[in-house]
A and B are shown apart, each in its own frame.
Chain A
């Protein structure tokens, strides 16, 4: 497996994503993690409501890479919000995802 980083730089943190349950939403999240070479330690998913999924991720890699990837996840249309490593929730701009600010 190609890893973004390893060794002394490696840090782990846990994010919680709130995602709208629409076709491809989970795959899109995973696709970004894979493409951007984030190291994934654990992944779990729960249904929060008829329409909403909660995805918990434990990710590794350089802090700057992780931050960028979290930004990219926040930009997805179906991602409604994400906590950062400290557990602070960042909602997307208008609550339904904008893929980058408008």
Chain B
């Protein structure tokens, strides 16, 4: 095609290809038809038709989390664009690079409340890093390049590109000149103030008696899991990993203390409370991790490595902060460390349990909840432990939804390469798992992909089963079905005297539903069927669904009661019942 005939829509597709995009997720409609028309003729771009735009955003997010690349989603104006919002907010909270392209009514009717007009740019301002309203076809190449750059640099996040219909059809007369955007070079030398801060952290660690490393998603994003591991091993530093940092350092490692916070391990939480030095790597000290700030790590000097200066001190004010990409700052720390962690600290740490629930060790009697060979339902703990087991064993990636099963899986996973554990940590978005796994599986076809969801969250986006079948994505879908909005029921049991207001779920037969979509599906109703059912799903040639019925009223432990210090965790059901604050 002659350059002179290129439309704005062509320029969009060209921009996508130039950024290395091969797969995008979307749903068409009037205001984005010109772009879809060009997309249709582009053999290099694979469009995945989701059944609801929220799923397009989650799928782009899952694709990005699993691959480390920018995920792309597409929607039409008005209702289509608005359906993206939950997904964009989810990505923003967890620093996931996503570019969302939306159709908009033609420029000459904008501002008139035209059919399917909505101010998507205005409405996404608080949940995006940036948004562009493209006013002419000529701007498209530069906007596309800048949108991708903004999405992936610094703290990654979602970027909106709003494209009025006439911009898509308008002539993009200029040649598709290579776009150069200033900036982007990584400095080789650390700025002096950063160098100084790194030296202060080294001094803190070298003098520490009870140090702890706290690791977040920043380590995954900066691809520094190997650097971290070497550093921790060389100095025998204890490592705590947040929900979004679980795949930065495996829990199976002897230096891992597990996850901190509301459903964290005794070892992680008590270590933080007794530590004299805490070094945070790419985490934001979220309130679910810290509990009340005033009672967090009372005796620790705290240092934080963080890429986003505006995120430092929002909850915990560190004594030292090292600003910059961990890929440059963390290697600078390594050569300055001398200390080996005192054995007394390790002996103390080992006195606290790292496991959320007891495990049978060889020669020991099995814990009381393990399957006695009866016909009883598995517990949620048993189901998720078995799921985590097969996920670990097969090197699979997993997307979890939100609720009890999410916490159980987080507590039970032992392994996991960076980018293999996908969950909505910051926003806690139910309905995330299935579409995110769809994106992750298409991004990483080399990995086997599991979905673990509750019966509540699964029903929020289950229409995507159709997409899974159409795209022949071999997802292993496990619904941990307790017949409740489990985490809500847990809070109602513990903090609202057992009044189960609107938390009982009367669900459909999920296996029948799965089959209706064309997915081989099984219902598991006995603990002893679990292992076989998981093997069956793992071996399935295409998608497979398991409706795992579990004990209806079981709680997630350990639990730090809301409002309590993280050191005051309740390890088992016998514990006290404190005052509620916040919510599930």
> A residues bordering B, Cβ < 8 Å?
22-24, 27-28, 31, 35, 64, 68-69, 71-72, 75-78, 93-96, 98-102
Known: A69-B310, A99-B153. A23 touches B183 (CB 8 A): no
Q: Is the CB of B186 within 8 A of A102?
A: yes
- Shortest B343–chain A CB gap in Å is 38
Cα A81 to Cα B537 with chains together (Å): 56
List B118-171 residues whose CB lies under 8 Å from chain A: 121-122, 125-126, 129-133, 135, 146, 150, 153-155, 157
Q: Is the CB of A102 within 8 A of B154?
A: yes
Q: Is the CB of A98 within 8 A of B153?
A: yes
Q: Is the CB of A76 within 8 A of B130?
A: yes
Q: Is the CB of A100 within 8 A of B131?
A: no
Q: Is the CB of B182 within 8 A of A100?
A: no
- Shortest A102–chain B CB gap in Å is 5
Chain A residues whose C-beta falls within 8 Å of the C-beta of B314 in the assembled complex:
68
Cα A31 to Cα B309 with chains together (Å): 18
Q: Is the CB of A27 within 8 A of B125?
A: yes
In this complex, what residue of B is CB-closest to A28?
B125
In this complex, what residue of A is CB-closest to B181?
A96
Known: A71-B309, A77-B150, A101-B323. A24 touches B125 (CB 8 A): yes
* Additional pairs, 6, CB under 8 Å, beyond known A23-B131, A24-B121, A94-B183: A24-B122, A64-B317, A75-B310, A77-B146, A98-B153, A100-B310
Q: Is the CB of B309 within 8 A of A100?
A: yes
Q: Is the CB of B133 within 8 A of A23?
A: yes
- Shortest A5–chain B CB gap in Å is 14
28 A-B contacts (beta carbon < 8 Å): A22-B132, A24-B121, A24-B122, A24-B125, A28-B130, A69-B310, A71-B310, A72-B310, A75-B310, A77-B129, A78-B130, A93-B183, A94-B182, A96-B182, A98-B150, A98-B154, A98-B183, A99-B130, A99-B155, A100-B155, A100-B310, A101-B154, A101-B307, A101-B309, A101-B324, A102-B183, A102-B186, A102-B325
- Shortest A100–chain B CB gap in Å is 3
In this complex, what residue of B is CB-closest to A64?
B313
Cα A68 to Cα B323 with chains together (Å): 13
- The total of Cβ contacts below 8 Å across the A-B interface reads 78
Is the CB of B196 closer than 8 A to any CB of chain A?
no
In this complex, what residue of B is CB-closest to A35?
B126
In this complex, what residue of A is CB-closest to B317?
A64
Q: Is the CB of B313 within 8 A of A68?
A: yes
In this complex, what residue of A is CB-closest to B306?
A100
Q: When A and B form their complex, which 10 residue pairs have the shortest distance between CB atoms, in order from nearest?
A: A100-B154, A94-B183, A72-B310, A23-B133, A71-B310, A71-B309, A77-B130, A102-B153, A100-B308, A31-B125
- Shortest B538–chain A CB gap in Å is 41
Looking at A75, A76, A77, A100, the one whose CB has the most chain B CB atoms below 10 A away is A100
- Shortest A82–chain B CB gap in Å is 12
Across the interface, A23 reaches (CB within 8 A) one of B121, B150, B185, B317, namely B121
Cα A93 to Cα B324 with chains together (Å): 13
- Shortest A88–chain B CB gap in Å is 16
> B residues bordering A, Cβ < 8 Å?
121-122, 125-126, 129-133, 135, 146, 150, 153-155, 157, 182-186, 307-310, 312-314, 317, 323-325
In this complex, what residue of B is CB-closest to A69?
B310
Chain B residues whose C-beta falls within 8 Å of the C-beta of A68 in the assembled complex:
309-310, 312-314
Q: Is the CB of A100 within 8 A of B153?
A: yes
Cα A78 to Cα B146 with chains together (Å): 12
Across the interface, B131 reaches (CB within 8 A) one of A24, A35, A71, namely A24
Chain B residues whose C-beta falls within 8 Å of the C-beta of A101 in the assembled complex:
154, 307, 309, 323-325
Cα A27 to Cα B324 with chains together (Å): 28
Known: A98-B154, A100-B309. A27 touches B183 (CB 8 A): no
Cα A22 to Cα B132 with chains together (Å): 8
- Shortest B368–chain A CB gap in Å is 48
Cα A28 to Cα B186 with chains together (Å): 27
In this complex, what residue of B is CB-closest to A94?
B183
Q: Is the CB of B182 within 8 A of A75?
A: no
Cα A22 to Cα B62 with chains together (Å): 31
Across the interface, B129 reaches (CB within 8 A) one of A94, A96, A99, namely A99
Chain B residues whose C-beta falls within 8 Å of the C-beta of A94 in the assembled complex:
182-183
Cα A23 to Cα B317 with chains together (Å): 35
Cα A101 to Cα B126 with chains together (Å): 20
Chain B residues whose C-beta falls within 8 Å of the C-beta of A75 in the assembled complex:
154, 308-310
Cα A45 to Cα B133 with chains together (Å): 21
In this complex, what residue of A is CB-closest to B307?
A100
- Shortest B157–chain A CB gap in Å is 8
- Shortest B129–chain A CB gap in Å is 5
Chain A residues whose C-beta falls within 8 Å of the C-beta of B323 in the assembled complex:
101
Cα A100 to Cα B186 with chains together (Å): 13
Looking at A22, A72, A93, A99, the one whose CB has the most chain B CB atoms below 10 A away is A99
Chain A residues whose C-beta falls within 8 Å of the C-beta of B155 in the assembled complex:
99-100
Known: A24-B125, A35-B126. A99 touches B131 (CB 8 A): no
Looking at B122, B154, B307, B310, the one whose CB has the most chain A CB atoms below 10 A away is B310
Chain A residues whose C-beta falls within 8 Å of the C-beta of B126 in the assembled complex:
31, 35
- Shortest A101–chain B CB gap in Å is 6
Chain B residues whose C-beta falls within 8 Å of the C-beta of A64 in the assembled complex:
313, 317
Known: A24-B133, A71-B309, A94-B183. A99 touches B122 (CB 8 A): no
Cα A24 to Cα B126 with chains together (Å): 11
Cα A37 to Cα B307 with chains together (Å): 23
